[in-house]
Structure formats: C-alpha cells, structure tokens
Amino acid sequence: MASWIRYSFIRIGLFAAAFWLLMVLNIVWWASALLATVIAFSLSYIFFVRQRDKLAEDLATRLERSKEPDSDALAEDLP
C-alpha cells in the first residue's frame, strides 16, 4: 500500500473516531468537527512521525523524477 494512502487512512480514522466520540458526548456537530480535526492533527503529528516522514520521502522522490528532462526535451534544447 502506498505511503500516502496509509497515512490518509490513519488521519481519516483518527478524525472519524474523535468525531464519533464527541458526537456521543452530545457536542454540537460543528464543534465536534472542529475539535476532531484538531485532535486528529495533534495525534498524527505526535505519534505517526515515521509514516509522515515516509510520505515526505515518497513525495520528494516523485518530485525529483518529474523534474528530470527526457531525451526528447534535451534534443530540442540543443542548438
């Protein structure tokens, strides 16, 4: 499974669990959504460092690959 998919599922799962818990506690839906967002962000920032770093490495690798010119583009730049 790609690192971005795994990390996204973790973040969505944290949000859903926090939102559900806050709704069970009878907190207004918009406040529950706001608090669940903060809770999911905080927990993922503290406890899922390895997954976030892996995602950053994968994105950096993808960006580097997209910047490499192909042979056709190099041939067009020659005088």
Q: What are 69's two structure tokens?
A: 């010119």
Structure confidence by residue, pLDDT tens digits, 11-69: 999 999 999 999 999 999 999 999 999 999 999 999 999 999 999 999 888 888 877 66
Assessment of whether the complete model's pTM goes beyond 0.75 = no
pLDDT for 62 equals 85
Question: What count of other Cβ atoms lies within 10 Å of the Cβ of residue 68?
Answer: 7
Structure confidence by residue, pLDDT tens digits, 57-69: 998 888 888 776 6
pLDDT for 73 equals 66
Question: CA–CA separation, 66 vs 61, rounded Å?
Answer: 9
36 neighbors 22 (Cβ within 8 angstroms)? yes
If one counts the domains in the chain, the total is: 1
Q: Whose CA is closest to 45, among 2, 1, 10, 5? A: 10
Q: What are 19's two structure tokens?
A: 């939102």
Kind and range of the H or E element at 24?
A: helix 3-24
